[in-house]
Amino acid sequence: MASLSVLRSAYPWIKTPLIACAPMLRIATGPLAVAVSRAGGLGFLGAGFDLSNLEADLKHSAELLAKLDTPINHKDTNGTLPIGVGFINWGADLKTAIAAIKRYTPCAVWFFAPASLPDDLVPWAEAIRSATNNKTKIWVQVGSVSEAITVAESLQPDVLVIQGSDAGGHGLARSASVLTLLPEVKDRLRERSMGHIPLIAAGGIVDGRGLAASLILGASGVVMGTRFLTSKEANISHGYQSELLRLSDGGRCTVRSTVYDKVRGFTSWPERYNGRGVINQTYVDAVEKGMPDEENQRLYEEETKKGDAGWGPNGRMTTYAGTGVGLLRDILPAEDIIRNTQVEAERAIKNISAE
Amino acid sequence: MASLSVLRSAYPWIKTPLIACAPMLRIATGPLAVAVSRAGGLGFLGAGFDLSNLEADLKHSAELLAKLDTPINHKDTNGTLPIGVGFINWGADLKTAIAAIKRYTPCAVWFFAPASLPDDLVPWAEAIRSATNNKTKIWVQVGSVSEAITVAESLQPDVLVIQGSDAGGHGLARSASVLTLLPEVKDRLRERSMGHIPLIAAGGIVDGRGLAASLILGASGVVMGTRFLTSKEANISHGYQSELLRLSDGGRCTVRSTVYDKVRGFTSWPERYNGRGVINQTYVDAVEKGMPDEENQRLYEEETKKGDAGWGPNGRMTTYAGTGVGLLRDILPAEDIIRNTQVEAERAIKNISAE
């Protein structure tokens, strides 16, 4: 598969099928990103829209990578830092990004949610390619066929992340799941002679069955976010993780909404996005009881003082999670998550072939 | 796979992987149901909530079955009529159903959307089992893990149809796609020693890739609705079919809403449901322009006089379709749809195994 060899040549250390960790804001920091790449995946730092910590996070990651018992061979990284950086482009500052990228040459950048697509991303792609002599590969996350075609034509991305409606956190408010989105993107790109671009499936993939299904649907690999929320290396509070393990019926206990942004004061997301989070008191008050945003925001701010007790069915702390949350059973090291998922996918494929 | 042998023994004529045709209201009539079963699938009549035509539809189907060049062997049907009947249980009348079922012994009934789950379905299951001496198998469509467990425990269904968020037409307003819903249902039923119940995936399956992915996720077969809208045998207007072939970007051109029920005067759907349809003038007027329902309904009724011209981007005729609508390329006989889908699924599985 041509698109798979693109990935293998860019990232020689990866074990296939490729599993990347989503650049989850504040949660995917150095320890998680490094653990994922160390296990043969591709870890991303969640740099987000505020890049003031980016240099420090990259420095910390570089130190962790240098300290590994069995470090990733420099020869195997094409001279890059073998982790990526994920930006939320409506807010991220290009100059700050370029300074950090020049210094650390991450193996990938991941663009998401520019105010204007593709216009706002063109200067980002050009500046980064020029700053690292094309060593840093350009990943762009899209949520529709039309976005995929637009980005493919205007940016020539190295990788497209195809995000379906099951994803936790932010994504297009209106979208298909990976089940139909991925094949349609694949077909439309192939018709336009862009079938070589690797497609990475995101949204609803939490185990080997989801990984195997994504490969069947045309993906060259997958991104997992929700699954890594329950990794040992995630920078996440105990209350958040406990809540994730408690939940079941992921399509019913989560909902897509803008209310979680509102109470936390994040008002700059372009209108086409909202976020999938666990239904909690914030949502019930806003949607079922019509509570004004200001009051809901005040209650949220009070809740933040409660620490771990702020999560849970009657809590107000935002619990972003995908519909796969009901499949989470344990907290594991990222390395085990990756290995288990790959082994389970291979077994699922073997079983289905034998029938 | 134990759950697959349940299907093979109930329906000896089927070719696996099993493809069933969704009981689409007014669209899945005798010709489509018979063509699907004749091709080794399982065709359903869309009896819906108003059963006044049910006996006539069954009679017509029985005649079509008798007239086939190579009829389905009676020995192969366990003494049933080798098509099923789909009910919308909040409206369907049990007595009328039983009279028709006694007379024609369809090989399956399909329950969906009772006002109260599972209470309203218990008498249906009992009456039908008793009327046909268990020959007519009980299929129940659910859209969440909790519904699946409730139905499995209280009805001992022969088959569960697991409907994900990509489905066209009616389904739970809040749900996961098949990608996470199916594995979670599978795991939870297995834990409760109900892993033998065959799960049939529905919602977003339009080709062999979707079929293969569903099998990997734990399904014993699939239901397709949207794909059969563009079958030669569908009882559907030319305008509807043309619109389906024109559409792309299925997650963007469709939306889940109750507005299509409102303008057509279907006000009895339980609150937890809405329907996925193509965004048209009805939706734009209601949601973006705040048009009152009465005015929207009046405009819809006028539009019905236009015939085929009432469909399309500026039209008002309801175009129910799943997110897979962008993958539809042609109008084919149901037999070709089934064969192509099965062949493509086998090829997809073979390719993935070889990697």
Mean pLDDT of B212-236: 98
- A205 and B251 in contact by Cβ < 8 A? no
Tell me the shortest Cα–Cα distance from A192 to chain B, in angstroms: 15
- The pLDDT assigned to B126 comes to 98
Output the six-digit token pair for A353.
């072939």
pLDDT above 90: percentage of residues in chain B: 94
Residues of chain B with CATH 3.20.20.70: 2-236+332-354
Output the six-digit token pair for B1.
């796979």
Output the six-digit token pair for B85.
């009947």
Tens of pLDDT, residues A67-96: 998 878 767 888 999 999 999 999 999 999
Q: Which of residues 203-242 of B touch A (CB under 8 A)?
A: 203-207, 209-210, 212-218
Mean pLDDT of B98-102: 98
Output the six-digit token pair for B270.
């339980």
Q: Choose the closest CB to A181 out of B207, B251, B348.
A: B251
- The pLDDT assigned to A219 comes to 98
Exposure string for B333-343, b = 16+ CB within 10 A, e = fewer:
ebbebbbebbe
Q: Is A160 near chain B, with CB under 8 Å?
A: no
Average pLDDT value for chain A: 96
What secondary structure, in 3-state letters, does chain A show? CHHHHHHHHHCCCCCCCEEEECCCCCCCCHHHHHHHHHCCCECEEEEECCHHHHHHHHHHHHHHHHHCCCCCCHHHHCCCEEEEEEECCCCCCHHHHHHHHHHHCEEEEEECCCCCCCHHHHHHHHHHHHHHCCCCEEEEEECCHHHHHHHHHHHCCCEEEEECCCCCEEEECCCCCHHHHHHHHHHHHHHCCCCCCCEEEECCCCCHHHHHHHHHHCCCEEEECHHHHCECCCCCCHHHHHHHHHCCCHHHHEEEECHHHHHHCCCCCCCCEEEEEECCHHHHHHHHCCCCHHHHHHHHHHHHHHHHHHCCCCCCCCCECCHHHHHCCCCECHHHHHHHHHHHHHHHHHHHHHC
Give me the torsion for CA of B339, B340, B341, B342, rounded to 10°.
50
Report the DSSP pairing between strands A159-163 and A221-224: unpaired
Say whether pLDDT at A119 is over 90.
yes
Tens of pLDDT, residues A44-66: 999 999 999 999 999 999 999 99
CA separation for the pair B137, B43 (Å, rounded): 14
Q: Choose the closest CB to B165 out of A207, A249, A251.
A: A251
- The pLDDT assigned to B76 comes to 84
The DSSP output letter for B288 is I
Q: Choose the closest CB to B252 out of A144, A212, A326.
A: A144
Q: Choose the closest CB to B145 out of A176, A248, A348.
A: A248
Confidence grade of residue B1 (pLDDT, cut at 50, 70, 90): low
Of chain B, the end-to-end C-alpha distance in Å amounts to 24
Q: Write down how long chain A is.
A: 355
Say whether pLDDT at A1 is over 70.
no
Mean pLDDT of B98-106: 98
CA separation for the pair B224, B210 (Å, rounded): 10
Q: Is A130 near chain B, with CB under 8 Å?
A: no
Closest listed residue to residue B22, CA positions, set B37, B42, B49, B38: B42
- B355 and A4 in contact by Cβ < 8 A? yes
The answer to whether the peptide bond before residue B123 is cis (omega within 30 degrees of 0) is: no
CA separation for the pair B310, B291 (Å, rounded): 19
- A179 and B180 in contact by Cβ < 8 A? no
CA separation for the pair A181, A1 (Å, rounded): 20
The answer to whether the peptide bond before residue A82 is cis (omega within 30 degrees of 0) is: no
CA nearest A352 in B: which residue? B216
- A248 and B188 in contact by Cβ < 8 A? yes
- The pLDDT assigned to A6 comes to 87
Tens of pLDDT, residues B167-202: 999 999 999 999 999 999 999 999 999 999 999 999
- B204 and A180 in contact by Cβ < 8 A? yes
Q: Choose the closest CB to B216 out of A1, A206, A352.
A: A352
Tell me the shortest Cα–Cα distance from A224 to chain B, in angstroms: 13
Tens of pLDDT, residues A231-242: 999 999 999 999
The amino acid at residue B108 is A
- A324 and B188 in contact by Cβ < 8 A? no
Tens of pLDDT, residues A293-351: 999 999 999 999 999 999 988 999 999 999 999 999 999 999 999 999 999 999 999 99
CATH fold of A2-236+332-354, please?
Answer: TIM Barrel (3.20.20)
The DSSP output letter for B286 is I
Say whether pLDDT at B74 is over 80.
no
CA separation for the pair B321, B299 (Å, rounded): 22
* Burial environment of residue A55 by CB neighbours within 10 A (0 to 12, 13 to 18, 19 or more): middle
Report the DSSP pairing between strands A221-224 and A169-172: unpaired
Q: Is A97 near chain B, with CB under 8 Å?
A: no
Average pLDDT value for chain B: 96
- The pLDDT assigned to B2 comes to 75
- B248 and A143 in contact by Cβ < 8 A? no
CB pairs under 8 A between A and B: 193
Helix (H) / strand (E) element for B28: namely: none
pLDDT above 90: percentage of residues in chain A: 94
Q: Is B330 near chain A, with CB under 8 Å?
A: no
- The pLDDT assigned to A71 comes to 79
Q: Is A149 near chain B, with CB under 8 Å?
A: no
The answer for residues whose C-beta is within 8 angstroms of residue B91's C-beta and 6 or more apart is B48, B49, B50, B268
**What interface predicted TM-score (ipTM) does this complex get?**
0.97
CA nearest B346 in A: which residue? A353
Output the six-digit token pair for B250.
């299925």
- Specify which residues B169 forms β-bridges with: B276
- The pLDDT assigned to A74 comes to 67
Angle ∠(B260,B261,B266) on CA atoms, nearest 5: 155
Helix (H) / strand (E) element for B163: namely: strand B159-163
* Burial environment of residue B152 by CB neighbours within 10 A (0 to 12, 13 to 18, 19 or more): buried
- Find where tokens 């987000």 sit: A48
Q: Is B177 near chain A, with CB under 8 Å?
A: yes
Q: Is B323 near chain A, with CB under 8 Å?
A: yes
Q: Is A190 near chain B, with CB under 8 Å?
A: no
